[in-house]
Structures are given as C-alpha cells and as structure tokens.
Structure 1
Amino acid sequence: MVVGAVMALALAAGCSSSGGSHPAAGSDGSTAAVGGPVDVGAPLPAEVESRGKLTVGVKCDYPPFGYIDESSKNAGFEIDIAHRMASYAFGDPDALTLTCVTGSNRVSFLTSKRIDLIEATMNYTPERARTIDFSTPYFASGVKLLVPKNSPITSFRQLAGKSVISTSGATASLWLTRCMKDVKQTLFTQTSQALSALNQNRGAAFAQDDTLLLDLAAKNPGLKVVGDAKADSPWGMGVRKGDTRMLAWVNGALAHMQKSDYFWSEFRKTVTDPSVQRQFATYVPRPGRGLAYPSGSTVQC
C-alpha cells in the first residue's frame, strides 16, 4: 500500500495535536474556502458548539489511517475525515483537537470525556456496543497475519501452540483469545512496538487489520501478509452511550460525506496504488451503497 508519508516509530501514546491545515468543505461536500458550518441534518451538541472545537481520539501509529508524518503532523485517511467533520461543525477544518489513543485506552478516553468521539480504526462488536454507541460505518477490514518472508506460516491454524504478537484491545487480540486458546499472545500498545517485536523474532506472526499489515509489508520488504481474513467487520466512530445528539450529528456528517463520495475520493488520495485501491473498493461507503454491521457476533471462530 503506497502512502504519502512514513510512519513515525517510538510514538508516545496520549499526545495531542491540532493537526495540519486543510481546506474546508462546501455545502455539497466539495472542497471550498473556509466558510460557515454545514447543515448535516442534525444540530451540533451545545457543549461542543460552545467550545468551538471537536476533540477526536485518533490513531497515531496506524498508517495509512492515522499516523504522525515526517513533519510531526497528524496525517491519514481518518485524520482527513476528522478535518472534514470540523469543517461541517464550525466552517473551519482546523477547529479540531486530535488526541492520540490506542486500542486499550480509546473507550476510557471517551467515557471520561477526554474526547468527544472515537475515530480510531475501531471494528464494531456487540461487546463494544454495550459500552459505547457506534456511528454508521465508514470503512471495513479483517484480521490477517504479518510474518517474515521466509516463514512457513500461511494460515491461522499453523499458529497453534506458538507465540503471536498483537496489540491490546484490538479485534485481532479478541479473536485470538476466543478462537485460538492455545496461542500465547504477546501484547503491545503501539504498532511500532509490535513491528519491532516481530523483527526480533519474539513471535511467529503479528496479527492485525489487513489494511495496516499491507502497508507495513510494503515498507518492510522482509515481511509478507498471509492468512484468510478473520473477524471482518465494519469500522464505526464511537460516542458516549446514550448521547443521542452527538450520534445524530456524527451520522449526519458521515451521510453527507457518503453522498458526495468523499470516502472513496479521499481513500484514493491516501492509497495511490491502483491495484490496492481495487482490493478495497468495497470497503468504503459510496453513494447508493453503504456498509452494515453484522447482526450477530463478529468474532466467529
């Protein structure tokens, strides 16, 4: 997967940034000069409006979705979506505070009101939906394996009895816990730590979302992605349980982006390899074609 910047390693979780400068969105979802807020069909919650900024929890070590680029700014597909939401809310794409979160702390950051919403590569699961409310989906992915090029491992079933690297709170870790009880997990909070552990042979494989692993394999020629996708499900943004006003506004903003085909156009800007674009063409909502959460458990063994 080709992206416009290189992932920063050894990133400290919990940092905050206002991000880079982005053009605002016009009323039709197109790029326009900074202007007034955009009506998305639901009012912005008064608490957020009075503050004058959105506070969004994002990944900072997860290219091409959310990472810190070489100029030390937040970048990626999800970051661009966050800026677009700030444009809708305040007419200013930089009316935004981006807070770095990890798989293990993103929900606690939300419930403790350190952030207004989570936009951090979060797969929908019924278990998570008992704690937070999910927006409509804006992307989808599944879990695969990153292994050394010379590894004989080609599938999950070959991991039995082995040590596998993953990240705390990630869907990959949840699936391994439920479906491969004889696997010993070595857990980290950051992608850079997990990648270093794999390169140091501290595990037979690194289990994580396929989109991230494809990017890591492209940047690390000694690694490859293997295995059939497990626990594949859409990603949603998370808001506090019962916060109906925030959920309605977020869903309205996402519907506005879908109608203008913003997700697909932005994904193609972030991921420029046409062959990879074709692989993920059905992973984003587009006009007249949305994504839907599964009715049952997403962690099927």
Structure 2
Amino acid sequence: MTYSLKPALAAITVATALLGTAAPACANTLEQIMQQKVLRVAIDLSAPPYGMKSETMKEVGSDVETANLLAKDLGVTLQIVPTTQANRIPFLLTNKADIVISSLSITPERAKVIDFSIPYAVIQSVIGAPKDAPIKEMKDLAGKTVVTARGTTNDQNVTKLAPPGTNIVRFENDATAITAITSGQANIFSTALPLLLRSIRRTRPRPWISRL
C-alpha cells in the first residue's frame, strides 16, 4: 500500500495555520521565571520533526531547539515538560508549564483562553490516504475511518469538513494514530504534512510501501 496526499482532497482540507508559542495569564510571569531561573516549556515529544526522542532518549526537534534558544536568550535553565497534543492548553491553564512550544496553531478559539507570540512558522493540515483509495472529494470519506490526534487543528478540520457517516477515530497523539495506520486499523490519516511524510516513512520497511 502506497501512501500519498490526494491532490483534490488536499485542496479541500488543507489549512495553513500560523504557529506561535503560547502562555496564559495564570502561568509564571517573566519576572517569576527570571527569579527562579527556570523556564518550563511544554512540548509534545511524539510529533516529529517538531518534538521527539532520539535513539539515546534525548529530547530533539525544532520545538526543542526553539525552547533551548529562548531559555538561552533569557539566561535561565530550560525544563521540558512532556505533554500530549490534547493537554497542551490544559497544562498552561493549570500552571504545569510557563509556555507551550508544540506545533500549536493559532486559532480564535484558543486565543480566548491563552496568549500567543508572533507567528514563527506555518503548517499544512492534510489528509493522507493510499494512492488507490477511491477518494477524490470530501464526500468520499463517508463510510470510511479517518484517524487523527485529539484536540488538534487536524481534528477540528476533519470534524468540520467530513460528511455524515465518516468514522473519525481520535487518538491522544500522532504516535498512536500512526500505530493504527501501520497496523491496518485504518488507512486514512488527518495530520500535519511534515508529520505524515516523516512518520509514515520511518514506520515502514520501505518509504510509503507496506509489504504485509
């Protein structure tokens, strides 16, 4: 089975989102962070290439690099707080982290409860499916199972645009959604484009091809 983006489907479902760091009013203020000399940054480490663990279990990825640069600029120690995609905002609101740097899209709904930095990146939300899947339009998802990560922009997009009869299965993070894809539980994935490309390739014997 070969995975790719369906051009017509992607044209309907692609959403270019602005990414920014986020913080709520209840988290430590900058003054408190400077006094404590520690910056607590919530990062989802199951979302390569943004956040992940290396073979030596070291936190790596673009979000981790951004957090390191911010802590260095402030002259404080970085404390990475592992989180899931669904818990990114709750961790802020319960003061478990000072900020989130975790491929968090800026949306009007989220802006009601947290503050964002200026955008520093863009990300595409897409739906990946086998090349031979009979999917050309959103209506073709009816009767099919689509997996996604709970509480993400990808979840919101597919929930809003999918037709009645679409079975949307939500996992706590992209890593478990990828497991569902590679184990054959589903073959349609709503996620970010870089994550789709990187994750599917890394979890298959050959890029995009299943020999099962």
TM-score by length of 2: 0.77
Task: Map 1:189-228 to 2 at 5 A.
Answer: 189-219=172-202, 220=204, 221=206, 223=208
SS of alignment partner, residue 147 of structure 2: strand
- 1:78 corresponds to which residue? 63
Count of aligned positions? 178
Does 2:82 match 1:100?
yes
Quote how far apart the aligned CAs of 1:181 are: 4.4
Asked whether the equivalents of residues 58 and 99 of structure 1 are also in contact (C-alpha less than 8 Å), the reply is yes
Following superposition, the deviation at residue 191 of structure 1 comes to 1.9
The 5 Å alignment of 1:120-139 reads 120-139=102-121
The separation in 1 between residues aligned to 2:144 and 2:131, in whole angstroms, is 18
Aligned-residue offset at 1:155: 5.2
For residues 55-86 of structure 1, give each alpha carbon's deviation from its aligned partner in whole angstroms, at most 9, with x where no partner exists.
00011011111101101010011111100001
Letter in 1 for 2:208: L
Equivalent of residue 59 in structure 1, options 44, 57, 60: 44
Contact 1:186 1:203 in 2 (8 A): no
Note the C-alpha offset of 1:160. 2.2
Q: Does 1:68 align with 2:68?
A: no
Structure 2: stretches of 5+ with no match in the other structure: 1-28
Q: Report SS of the residue matched to 2:199.
A: helix
* In 1, Cα distance between equivalents of 2:129 and 2:58: 30
Write out per-residue CA displacement over residues 121-177 of structure 1, whole angstroms, 9 at most, x where no aligned residue.
111111111111111111111211233455444554421221100011011111122
Structure 1 position 45, deviation (Å): 1.5
CA distance in 2: counterparts of 1:202 and 1:85, whole angstroms: 40
Cα distance in 2 for residues equivalent to 1:142 and 1:53: 33
Task: Structure 1 unaligned segments of length 5 or more: list them.
Answer: 1-43, 225-301
Contact 2:138 2:161 in 1 (8 A): no
Percent of aligned pairs with the same amino acid: 26
